[in-house]
Structure 1
Amino acid sequence: MSDLERSIIEKLQVVPGERFSLKDRDPRDSSLFGDEKETKAATATLAKSIDALQDRLYSEGSRALLIILQGTDTSGKDGTIRSVFNSTGPLGVSVHAFGPPSRLELEHDYLWRVHAACPRRGTIGIFNRSHYEDVLIAKVRGLASKEAVEQRYEQINAFEKMLVENGTTILKFMLHISKDEQKERLQARLDDPAKHWKFNPSDLEDREHWDEYQEAYEIMLQRCSTPHAPWHVIPADRKWVRNAAIASIVKATLEDMNPQYPNVSWNPGDFTIP
């Protein structure tokens, strides 16, 4: 792990057990990086490194990496996936976007659909939104009782610990944007006909509950940043900073996992290709 990667993790990670406030994290912070053009080029190089490491992970076939992207509307979950994993072979990567639960999913516990979407061994799984919706929107919109939401923090921690103990490394990223930045991005969707499909009137309803969501995120981050699956708060007002930070942490994590190509039982020199 490079000194820069270590600095990024130390600055952006929510330390388990410590008091935390989103107001202490600047969504426009770019202090960890230098020139924008150089950082974008470095991010493209990181994406290629992630591809090479993912190839080793896939061939090893014994462990998995789960990446959770959580953030308000327009925070850049789709953009992160395109920018950080654009070079990664699709065979070993799965992306699951969690929307409102179906009737079948509602007939099970809230983690049932999540467990079914977790990455198989040898792969990287990316969650665009996740089980954390069940302590965010469920809390703010009153979709579950206060008692149920309160129980879910420890249930989620236990669920993630079980995944880790069975070979899945977990990276959790909260994409932190300002209310002003969200306003600009929502307006851009209205102004560009090619982006109209991205606009959802319900986004404006959620925006009316901005402060409540920020409070729900703070509680989630403090209660569910654990030693086995810590949260990282990513400054996301600047897309190039967001992409560079996440790419750096993903690459460093895969290097730390150090997947290995399996040994073969035969000698390549014994074969002649006709």
Structure 2
Amino acid sequence: MTFPHGQPIIDTMMGFPTVGFEQYDFIRKQTKDRQSQQEFQFPAEYMFKHVPKELPTEDPVSVTLHEMDRWSIEKALIGVTGESAQLALKRHPDRFIPSGNVDDPNQVVETVRQIKRDYEEYGIRAVGAFPAGTFPQVAINDKKMYPVYATCVELGIPIFCCAGVPGPRLKFEPQRVEYIDEVMYDFPDLVFVTRHGCEPWEELAVKLLLKWPNLYYSTSAFAPKYYPQKVIDFANTRGADKIIYAGYFPMGLSLERIMTDMPNVPFRDEVWPKFLYENAARVLKLDR
């Protein structure tokens, strides 16, 4: 159960330092409590002791690359929008993996068109979705999402989708883990990767991971100290091929916090290379 220091890592949720927190305005405009509206810069700030707010922003790509090199992160999955992301993808295609995003599934036709444009322009390897953050909210199993899933299947790319109670003070209904079952039933060829923990339904998530061959779990937004025990137990038994590492830099966690916690996770020796690299490489088709 020894952490393999020096093992190459793929981080399936990475970002870049920014000036201010305007990128979260789409969440803030939906919240109603005073703290979310007036006090929090980061919408889930109450959940994290040390949000990395003071990072240099003169050269965001270099800051992220420095942290990646420091912690043996060989590649990182990033969005394709924003100046920093586009610069990173242009200058460092060997380090950054492009991902599209489902911004507003209420606009069904435009959403599908955007995914296809991103695929053609950037060669996206995945699509991200945050059901609780859409406005009006669109649930995981809402039929408005079905064209997105069909498009992912058509293009041969996975969807990384938040599931479980969201950190921001938004309604959790759209992210109930049981909704994933219906989606996997209707789209058996869809590769679906959960984000942000699936809590408090992590036991159900494990049951579904065992049931559906193309369903995976990523550890985004969790310090390793708080990885759900049910998920750790599953990885150490029948689920070594189903659990994928994801961080949360620089949104809510520093890589130093994540990686100094990581050696204390009681994964079996054979689980580590799959968790840190191999499962993500397979899902993202990085060997092709």
TM-score (norm 1): 0.35
- Identify the structure with bigger relative contact order (alpha carbons < 8 Å, sequence gap 6+): 1
Q: Which one has a larger percent helix, Structure 1 or Structure 2?
A: 1
TM norm structure 2: 0.34
Larger Rg: 1
